[in-house]
Amino acid sequence: MINTKNKLILSVALLANAILWTGCSDDFLKEKTDYSKLTPEIYNDYTGAKMRVDDIYLRLLPDVNNGLSYRSTSSGKGDIQSRSTEEFSSLSNFVNPDVVITSSSNLDDWFHVSKNTSSGPWGEIRNCNDAIEGISKGTLADEQKRELLGQVYFFRAWQYYLLVKTYGGVPIVDKVQLTDVSEATDLIVPRSTAKVCIDFICNDLDTAAAMLPYKSGDFGRVTKGAALALAGRARLLYASPLFNRADDESRWKAAYEANQAAITALNAGGFNLAYQSAPGVNAAGWSKMFSDFNSSEAVFVTLYNKVHDDDAAHEIYRNNHWEQTIRPKNTNATTSNSGMTPSAMMVDLFPMADGKKPGQSEYAYNPLTFFANRDPRFYRTFAFPGVYWRFEGNPKMWPKYDSGGNVIGNLDADYPYSGENYVLWNYSWYDTETNRNDETKIGFGADLLGTNYRGVYVRKRSNDFDMTSPAPTCLYRWPATSSENRQGAFGEAALPWMEIRYAEVLLNFAEAACGYNRLTEAKDALIAIRQRAGIPAGSDGSYGLGDLSTRSEMFAAILYERQVELAYEGKRFDDMRRWLLWDGGANFSQIANAPSTWTLSGFGGNTCTYLGVEPLNGKRRDNFEICAKTNASGSHASDPLKTVRPLPLDLKTTGNTTMDNLVTFYTTYLMRKQNRGDEVGKVIDYKPQYYFIGLTSGAQSNNTSLLQTIGWADTQKGNQNGTFDPLAE
């Protein structure tokens, strides 16, 4: 916490101003006025108070580069959350059957509840409380106070939302606590129930909404609609089966009204489904919104820049590494761990071109030619052998190194293309049939350098030069020389990150409307999302949705749409928790001392059965590789299919000839090989107590009033089972 009382380093505030409000621009504030020793009088000056608020943005905006923390939710990478869902294989601690987590300190990338007032969630909440008190008591004009306070109330609610969705109920601290030893009792605040916390969050957001504008002149500032959208998300969380075991309609009504108010405010501010009237070829518009600045889709957004640290003071640059993470190794994105490989389960579940699931569509689904006749969003979510994936930059210029780091030439031979012509030819081949049949083996890559991961890549949210013609604005800085390669190619990038986007708000509304038995309104929201994606209406005008005449069918369709529309955006884990989708909520009786209220009395007693989906528990996830049917010598340079490759698939063009030729190439020369994803002999096993995370022993020792959550060891009571019930009202 910056509070002794109120030290604020201007460089941090200038950084906040620079990265948040200049977006892709490389022009930044240069002044270095000394504001290193500040007093409460900072809140009597508009510029100083605004810098204080900007510092809160810097601290609490979600960060796409980091794993899970107190300030960031999952951003869709292969973190512990995403590896617990269908999106990625490789067992996380959450779903590994051989791991039993007894304390949340055992969880990778998780944040902890403690009393620390200089960092962590409570330090940031203290920052917000300090700003609220300081601005409220200061001498600024009322209009200036409202402008700043609305933003701070939003971020206090945001931090509490992250805590409550994880722990189910936390201490509510709404004032600056004294930290003197004589006043230590001021720090002892017990956990509030989830209901009280949700009401507190929504009250803060209502307060924020009343002060915030419908649209800000600075893209990235929170607005009235953003505050109401977060309130809608919080109300939906509380209405979901995780908290709403009895399917109480009043909670669905509250969520419905909250999300309806959010949509009304967002529309008034000019927010809507981006490119709804211009979906483009193969969902080009849908894809382009992820790299747009001032996008009408971006409700709650973190901005980045492409500043190189040799161009400005070190604290000024803030780069987005997503593009670097998803690009293959032979684009020179990084030297190792390049690209993200989706599970075969995820690739196979996407809709077909008519919007229907594989097996229910007029299009037959062939797992080998998995890319044929798919939902337009498929082509912007995944990349596969034989498709253009263009970028701005030329990898040829880079020097070539040996294992000792010595320059031994250049990469012209390894990179026989420019970025504008890049094609992902990442099939593989083997030297023996035995190796080809071994799921633990990976073949030689079709590209001379190899692509590290073969088969399919996550392409979602790429600054993709196959979206439109002419190419979009380049949002990464391709270094002119290797000496400028501070973070590698694509590392210095300015792609914005949308934590809440308009499509999610529509989906939140649809789910709440379904819960409140407004099925027509729910379906209309789904249709709008599918129209924007470019799915055809079909003969029945349902855009592949069908009748959806029952509440359970509608819920299932909404969750499926979320899984597709929001894939690799860090939302699936929360959806699975909200709907208890690992086991349908059937195993709460296994938790010692779990009260009868934990048993589902609504949703037919089992959410998976109710939705008509299979539980993820008991399944395993594998990956797959597209490899040549013909063996070749053991060398990357011995590609047996290079001379018979067809023209690559160009997502910017219409027509089926190239697609048909690629299908023929796959069918004639390639096969689909299963590669091991989850560990052999193990299946997913998400324990029922993980639906709510327990407190760390450190948190309990710091605050002796903190009761442990049911299902977790209470260190205050000799490691007996916890007694705090997140469902209590």
Say yes or no to pLDDT of 259 above 70: yes
Answer yes or no: are the C-beta atoms of 600 and 241 closer than 8 Å.
Answer: yes
What is the mean pLDDT of the segment spanning 443-457? Answer: 75
What are the φ/ψ torsions at residue 284 (nearest 5 degrees)? -60, -40
Give the mean model confidence (pLDDT) for residues 225-250: 98
Tokens encoding 608: 């998976």
CA distances, 555 to each of 589, 599, 689, 717 (Å):
25, 20, 24, 41
Query: Do residues 101 and 110 touch, judged by C-beta distance below 8 A?
Result: no
User: Three-state DSSP class for 312?
Assistant: coil
Q: Which amino acid is at 549?
A: S
As a whole number of angstroms, the distance between CA 187 and CA 129 comes to 14
* Cβ atoms of 705 and 188 closer than 8 Å: yes
> What is the predicted pLDDT for the residue at 705?
83
Least confident of 83-97, 173-187, 524-538: 173-187
Token pair 């020792």 is found at 701
Mean pLDDT in the chain?
Answer: 87
CA distance 324 to 314: 20
CA dist., res. 109 & res. 64, Å (int): 14
122-126, 229-233, 523-527: which range is least confident on average?
122-126
pLDDT at res. 467:
84
Q: Is 627 helix (H, G, I), strand (E, B) or coil?
A: strand
The pair of three-digit structure tokens given for residue 158, joined into one six-digit string: 């945001």
Which DSSP string corresponds to 704-723? TT-PPBTTSEEGGGTTEEP-
Query: Poorest-confidence range of 28-42, 411-425, 540-554, 669-683?
Result: 28-42
340 or 8, greater pLDDT: 340
CA 465 to each of CA 288, 421, 472: distance values in angstroms, whole numbers, following the listed order: 10, 10, 6
> For residues 156 and 492, which has the higher predicted lDDT (pLDDT)?
156
The CA distance from 508 to 159, in Å, is 20
519 vs 337, higher pLDDT: 519
Q: How far apart are CA 158 and CA 59, in angstroms?
A: 12
Q: What's the confidence (pLDDT) of residue 311?
A: 59
Question: In this structure, are residues 177 and 187 in contact, taking their beta carbons and an 8 Å threshold?
Answer: yes
Quickly count: other Cβ atoms within 10 Å of residue 35's Cβ. Answer: 18
User: CA–CA separation, 105 vs 550, rounded Å?
Assistant: 42
Once rounded to an integer, what is the mean pLDDT over residues 19-43?
Answer: 47
Residue 115: pLDDT above 60?
Answer: no
Q: Using one digit for the tens of pLDDT, what is the confidence trace for 621-641?
A: 999 999 999 999 877 678 899
Tokens of 453: 């991961």
* pLDDT for 19: 40
Q: Which helix (DSSP H) or strand (DSSP E) does residue 184 occupy? A: none
Taking the C-alpha atoms of residue 201 and residue 234, their distance in angstroms, rounded to an integer, is 8
Can you list the positions of beta strands (E) in 210-305? 298-302
Cα distances from 379 to residues 117, 270, 353, 384, in angstroms, run 46, 28, 11, 9
pLDDT tens readout for residues 408-421: 555 565 566 788 88
Residue of higher predicted confidence among 7 and 617: 617
**Amino acid occupying residue 612:** G
In the predicted structure, residue 473 carries a pLDDT above the cut 90: no
Separation of first and last alpha carbons in the chain: 32
pLDDT band at 402 (very low <50, low <70, confident <90, very high): low
| Beta-carbon contacts of residue 671 (< 8 Å; ≥ 6 apart) | 368, 626, 627, 628, 629
**Segment 670-695, tens digit of pLDDT:** 999 999 999 999 999 999 999 999 98
Rounded CA separation 466/232 (Å): 35
Closest-CA residue to 331 (of 457, 229, 230): 457
Window from 56-70, 73-87, 233-247 with minimum mean pLDDT: 56-70
> What was the pLDDT predicted at 18?
42
Quote the CA–CA distance of 694 and 629 in Å, as a whole number. Answer: 50
> pLDDT over 90 for what percent of the chain?
65
Higher pLDDT residue, 194 or 24? 194
Average pLDDT of the segment spanning 718-723: 87
Token readout for 703 is 């605050």
Asked whether residue 145 carries a pLDDT value surpassing 50, the answer given is yes
C-beta of residue 38 within 8 angstroms of C-beta of residue 45:
no
Instruction: Collapse the DSSP code of 6 into the 3-class scheme (helix H, G, I; strand E, B; otherwise coil) and give the result.
Output: coil
| Distance (Å, whole) CA 442 – CA 429 | 9
Reported as a pLDDT band with limits 50, 70 and 90, residue 253 is very high
| 358: its two tokens | 């594989």
Strand partners, 221: 219
Q: Higher model confidence: residue 537 or residue 332?
A: 537
Q: What is the pLDDT of residue 65?
A: 85
SS3 237: helix
Amino acid at 384: F
pLDDT of residue 412: 60
Q: Please give the pLDDT value at position 403.
A: 56
What is the torsional sign of CA 427, 431, 433, 435? negative
- What are the pLDDT digits (tens) for 568-591? 999 999 999 999 999 999 999 999
Least confident of 152-166, 447-461, 571-585: 447-461
Q: What is the per-residue pLDDT for 407?
A: 60
**DSSP calls for 542-562:** STT-----SHHHHHHHHHHHH
pTM confidence score: 0.93
Beta carbons within 10 angstroms of residue 625's beta carbon:
26
The alpha carbon of residue 24 and the mean position of all alpha carbons in its chain are separated, in whole angstroms, by: 21
pLDDT tens-digit map of 344-355: 999 999 999 999
